[in-house]
Amino acid sequence: MYQIQIIVLAVIQGFTELFPISSLGHTIIVAGILNWHNILNDKNFVNLIVALHLGTTLALLIYYRQQWVKIIKGLFLSIREGNIKYSDDAWLSWLIIVGSLPAGLIGVFFESTLKKLFSSPYISTLFLIINGLVLILGDRIIKNKKKLKLRDLRLKDAIFIGLFQTFALLPGISRSGITLIAGLLSGLSLEDAGFYAFMLLTPIIGAAAIIEIPPLLADPNTNIPVIILGMCITGIMSYITTVFLAKYFKLGKLLPFGLYCITIGILAIVYFKLIA
């Protein structure tokens, strides 16, 4: 049964991670509805979920492989020359590095405190509703904000967006969603905000997965083949959603995602309060 649970959670993670609807929130809520308290209360639950994200990281690296090659080359070139030019690939690489730092540092220092929230489906539903409200607000920003190009951002903008991304450490708050909103507030178009969100997601979730995998593997009860299978499933699902969202963000809106989060959150609260 535990193996089936991992596969189901891998599908959920892969499908919801890049959509602005909180994969962690969905994972906890679904596990709560199915009464999978064994996995919610497992000491390695967070390690497992974060490990599955390695599949998402690989999917993003593969899809944006050409952009990542240019970004990495630009980074090393700027270091070698000791000069950073605005609006080139090197500048984009530093925007990614600076934007990734706040969530990475806060995640490390407050990891134990935040993990206590992950076993509560009810808390996740509340944050999911908040996530929906924020997305609806973001939909209004799309209509009213002046549109900047990603390469026009400055480091202070990257720090601002990175600080916003730290809210995604709360279960129910979407990492891609909250980063999108911060990008929109900084003046980016939805397309550029989405691209920057995916660029920031890649090193953050990749590094987190690498950190959390060793404790998971150290547990003698860990079924490594099933974990690997789960990563593959998550990666395939994430790649499919990346293809869709890269096109959707060119013309799409955040309102449908916001209404979805609020609806699912309310239904989940009713379930946990009146039925469960």
Per-residue pLDDT tens for 248-260? 998 888 999 999 9
The pair of structure tokens assigned to 3 is 């193996």
Question: Does residue 1 carry a pLDDT above 60?
Answer: no
Containing structural domain, residue 33:
2-275
- Distance of alpha carbon 2 from alpha carbon 8, whole angstroms: 10
Spell out the residues 6+ positions from residue 237 whose beta carbon is closer than 8 angstroms to its own: 10, 11, 13, 14, 15
Q: Which one-letter DSSP state was computed for residue 188? A: B
pLDDT score recorded for residue 114: 67
Domains: count for the chain: 1
In one letter, which amino acid is 214?
Answer: P
Q: Check whether 87 has a pLDDT greater than 70.
A: no
- pLDDT > 90: percent of the chain: 53
Confidence of residue 40 (pLDDT cuts 50, 70, 90): confident
Residue 92: CB atoms within 10 Å: 21
Summarised one tens digit per residue, pLDDT across range 167-220 is: 988 889 999 999 999 999 999 988 999 999 999 999 988 888 888 888 888 888
Kindly indicate the confidence band of residue 244, based on its pLDDT and cuts at 50, 70 and 90: very high
Contact 261, 21 (CB under 8 A): yes
Residues in CB range of 72: below 8 A, 6 or more apart: 93
DSSP output for 232-257 = HHHHHHHHHHHHHHHHHHHH--SHHH
pLDDT in tens, 47-66: 888 889 999 999 999 999 99
